[in-house]
Copies of this chain bind each other. A is one copy, B any other.
């Protein structure tokens, strides 16, 4: 069956054969995602669209840029990756996102929202400069259409004077349902309301020819539309507006597109930090009318559904607009509101300037709840949260906290509620559920905790639940081998607990963090202990883009693993 998964098949099949091919692709995606996890609903939605693209265009000669890339599985299946598809998102296997290194048919790596039109324009401009003559297509979901980067690219069309085909894949969803003015405009277009002609001609004033709205799950409609778009592309930029149904073809997924947007192969044990975030913010908001919550299109995965339901007037999902979310929080904070901005580590990168310029520059009490910190696993390079400690560590006025478990996370959220400066808390997805109890002594800013005390030569300073649990296991194994270890919970990267660090008598200081090994805890300790004569050994992630795999595999291959830490302990002990 898989031998039919080729562009050739798309080009030469009859329409009814094409429809069969779509069903086969759909079945293959469903089968694979059921085992490997991945993005189900979004990929099921674009099967017909992708098959139609491969019938009308020719890849890799033509270039297809995905926005985000949650829709690239059918394209992967049709471009030589069907045979390896059972390794999807597995360590060493096929990536769940477009990857130039994987196939010539993937022309631009993506993962974050809003990049595709910029990228397509750049590729097209290069084509023009080189005198080449292929088509360049950006496939963009409607969720991305409220992102500022998309708008910056649209603004550029009249500057760059090149031709790209922008396919707006409108399924009414990003990960959460799409929100905001842009969404309403797309709604008017789809429904053909009285506003539709105006909105069309507005889009055209950016230099786009608008074609729509087509049913993107119907090959009979799609194929002639794409042929027409290809023709029009010779003389200008085209925006082809198609509607698709997320999860198309599978009733469960169609009915629960949010739940089936991303599917994990296994849920893992323990409790999600996001659950504690949601609970605690609700409890805080109950007592304190100043507490507000802000998210950028990820209400559910950040644990904020209950908050949004109960405190809707203080809950803001601004769409995939991470920058705007930060400025909004800064402004709320100037007026005495206490905003909590919940966001994934990797996506907060998009807001770096606003953290510096708007929040910390004004020393405003905004709390950043940074979920999916450290490696996130199967999504790979573009989604790992291994840079946050480095890009937050030098920003003046910012406190950076790293909870050791769910209980400490809860305590940090409470602490931040009365804190009058910018506050960042970074945490991984999963925590051990039995640890959801508050710390025994009240949490203080910049105060560390000694978990094991020993007068021997070796101390481990570890940050965050994953690294502390690795360190705990090492401490136990070392003890069994007669090596006593001091273990410190480095709850804050900023400020350091200088008094505690100064008091450590150990000769060997081992650090562990799930961040790259520069700019985070390791650099802070290097600075603190410079010239002290202590021997420092740091364990964290390699300064590299970490590929996909399970969290455990990634720790072992690239990170602060138990094995590496244990080997260092034994070596330090042997050296004495």
Chain A residues within 8 Å of B, Cβ to Cβ: 65, 100, 107-109, 111-112, 114-115, 118-123, 125-127, 129-130, 146-160, 179-185, 188, 195, 198-199, 201-202, 205-207, 289, 292, 313-314, 316-319, 321, 323-324, 327-332, 334-337, 349-350, 352-354, 356-358, 360-362, 381-382, 387, 390-391, 393-397, 516, 518-519, 522-524, 526-527, 529-531, 533-536, 543-545
Contact = CB atoms under 8 A, between A and B. Distances in A.
Contact of A324 (B118, B182, B317, B352): B118
A180 B126 CA distance: 19
A338 B314 CA distance: 47
B518 A331 contact: no
B152 A120 contact: no
Contacts of A119: 327-328, 330-331, 358
30 contacts: A114-B148, A121-B328, A122-B335, A125-B332, A130-B335, A148-B148, A148-B152, A154-B181, A155-B182, A155-B319, A156-B316, A156-B319, A157-B180, A157-B181, A181-B205, A184-B205, A198-B198, A199-B202, A349-B353, A352-B353, A361-B382, A393-B519, A394-B519, A396-B545, A397-B545, A518-B524, A523-B523, A526-B530, A530-B530, A531-B534
B206 A181 contact: yes
Contacts of A156: 180-181, 316, 318-319, 321, 324, 328
Closest 6 CB pairs of A and B: A148-B148, A122-B331, A126-B335, A152-B324, A118-B327, A152-B321
Contacts of A158: 179-181, 184
Contacts of A335: 122-123, 126-127, 130
Contacts of A314: 129
Contact of A526 (B123, B331, B337, B527): B527
Nearest to A395: B387
**Which of A146, A149, A184, A195 lies at the interface centre, i.e. has the most chain B CB atoms within 10 A of its CB?**
A149
Contacts of A289: 129
A156 B201 CA distance: 22
Contacts of A108: 330-331, 334, 362
Contacts of A159: 179-180, 316-319
B527 A332 contact: no
Helix, strand, loop or mixed for chain A's interface? helix
A531 B357 CA distance: 36
A23 to B, nearest CB: 34
Interface centre among A114, A151, A184, A206 (most CB of B within 10 A): A151
A336 B441 CA distance: 59
A155 B146 contact: yes
B130 A336 contact: yes
Contacts of A188: 205
Contact of A356 (B146, B324, B387, B530): B387
Contacts of A198: 198, 201-202, 205
Contacts of A518: 393-394, 523-524, 527
Q: How many copies of this chain sit in the oligomeric assembly?
A: 2
Contacts of A112: 353, 357
A522 B356 CA distance: 21
Given A159-B317, A332-B125, A356 B349 contact: yes
A316 B122 CA distance: 11
Given A185-B205, A391-B391, A522 B516 contact: no
B123 A516 contact: no
Residue from the set A157, A159, A316 with the largest chain B CB neighbour count within 10 Å: A159
A395 to B, nearest CB: 8
A327 B535 contact: no
B122 A327 contact: yes
B350 A353 contact: yes
A545 B319 contact: no
Contact of A152 (B107, B147, B381, B396): B147
Contacts of A321: 152, 155-156
Contacts of A324: 118, 149, 152-153, 155-156
A64 to B, nearest CB: 13
A328 B522 contact: no
Given A321-B155, A328-B121, A332-B125, A530 B536 contact: yes
Contacts of A396: 516, 543-545
Which of A147, A180, A188, A544 has the most C-beta atoms of chain B within 10 angstroms of its own C-beta? A180
Given A358-B119, A361-B382, A126 B530 contact: no
B109 A362 contact: yes
Contacts of A121: 328, 331
Given A100-B362, A153-B328, A195-B201, 6 more contacts: A111-B357, A118-B324, A152-B321, A156-B180, A199-B202, A361-B381
Contacts of A357: 111-112, 115, 349, 382
A531 B199 CA distance: 65
Contacts of A382: 357, 361
Nearest to A136: B331
Nearest to A187: B205
